[in-house]
Every structure is written in C-alpha cells, then in structure tokens.
Amino acid sequence: MHRDRFYTLSASCPDQVGIIACVTGFIAEHKGWILESSFHSDEMTEQRAARYFIRIEVKADSLPFMLTEFRERFRPIAESLQMDWRINDSAVKKRVVLMVSKQEHCLYDLLARWQSKELDIEIPCVISNHDTFKGFVEWHGIPFHHVPVTAETKVQAFAEVQRLFEESHGDTMVLARYMQILSPELCAAHPGKILNIHHSFLPSFVGAKPYHQAYQRGVKLIGATCHYVTADLDQGPIIEQDVIRIDHSDSPNDMVRYGKDIEKTVLARGLRYHLEDRVLTHGNKTVVFR
C-alpha cells in the first residue's frame, strides 16, 4: 500500500476498443500520476456479454481538483462507455460493522488486525444475536448491540440490524461467523456490501455443519470461502478461498480446529480486497485484482 494519499477508480463496462485510452487519457490530461493499474477482459459466454474491468490508483495531489470534481468531470466519459464505476479516497477510512454469534476466532482476529492498524478501518459497532462477547468488544471501546433472533422475531431483528448498520453509517457488514441467515430484505438493501465467511470450499457443503458433511464424504481437502451475501444461502459471488489437507484419521472436531485458522486468514484477505476496491462483480462471478 502506498503511503501517499491516492484515489482508487474501479469500473466495468461492455468490452470495446479504446476503453483504456479514454480512461487513462482523461487522467493524463489533468496531469494525474497513475500509481497502479489493472485490467481484465471477460470473454462473452452464452450467459454473459463480454465485459471489461479496470482498477486504477491515482496519486491524489497530482490532480488539480478534489474527488467531487473528479466525479463530475469523469461522468460523461463513464456514461459514454456505459460504465458501472466508483472512485474512493484512501484518506477516508471505511466503516465496517462486524456481526458474530458464539464463535470467537474471526472476531478476535479482525479486532487484532484493526487494533494493530493492519486493517486501517473504523469499527462503529459489533452486532450479535448473543451477548457472549459484550464485555470483550466494549473493552476495545467499540459499542456492542445484542439483537436476539428467534423464529418469531426474525423480521423485527433484521429490521433492527439494518437500522443499526445505517445509523452507524456503515460501508461494509462482515458476518464473522454470524450463524443466522439474513433476511432477503436486508440482503437486497445492501448488495455487494455484506461479506460472509463460510467454513467450506464452496460450492461444496453449503448450509449447516459443513465439516461434518465433509467428514461423511471422506474428502481430503477442507477449506473456507469469503463471499458476498445474497438472498440465496451460500450462493453469493466468491471473493477468496483457501484449503488445507486432511486425512482419514481426522475427526469432525479435528476439522473444526484446523478450519478456524483458514477461516480467519480467508476472511481477512477477502475483506482487505473488498476494502481496497479490488473486487468487481459480474453476475455471480468476481474479478479480484490482487
């Protein structure tokens, strides 16, 4: 990561000739200094049209205007290219709301990375359907909200989660082993903003107890998947994955223990890619510029 302040432009549009020339030409016209650039062309399939993906970092003080004016000046170019785009300022910390149930390892890991500035973010609050970690979270100086979820109160509970997320001006919601299925309304309200860590190598072993499912199938690799949350359980676009080798002597409890380490690292990597605007979605696929 660069020490100097920079803007990150990430975009996708229908593939065509001249995209890079238009975008980099605009930046060069205003004396912008490109620090990093990534491009990818996704070929046309029966399901999807060909699409082009861009991520560019520009040194902020090389431009003669601020971000608001950049957006205004760049908008006509983006419209002419039929572009979905965003541009963010590295000086503005992302606000990440964490959600957790009774498994502590992902919460502990993210808070440690936040406290050490490895993740340079704001955590406005932690939300949980249990009060297990209330003291631990508040010891870090972070507000903790206990929002119980039962079969009878799910609608009200997730309405409250949405209210807390929006009230805290959250940019991203992270399900750090939050063991509840979010409501379709909450998923629809924040597409591409909710990340989950699932303790299997998706699309294998969706739903509950994936390690036990893996044990029954006798697999030799288990993994973890960081993905965006959609209304379809464990079917959202995949951001990051990794695996670890096991053998016939490992019990489901062994797999759970091994899996905790990989869950932490996969979630942290996936969250970092998301926060750095390295992830662009195309249908149910992602392009991740590492």
Q: Where would I find the H helices in the chain?
A: 19-29, 67-80, 105-115, 134-139, 154-167, 184-189, 210-217, 252-275
Locate 31 and state its tokens.
């004396």
Give exposure, 256-281, as e/b (b: 16+ Cβ within 10 Å): bebbbebbbebbbbbbbbbbbbbbbb
* CB distance 241 to 266 below 8 Å: yes
* CB distance 252 to 211 below 8 Å: yes
Catalytic, out of 109, 171, 234, 277: 234
In the residue annotation, 234 being an active-site residue is answered as: yes
Residue 122: other Cβ atoms inside 10 A: 16
Strand 126-128 with 144-146, pairing: parallel
Residues annotated as catalytic (active site), given as ranges: 234
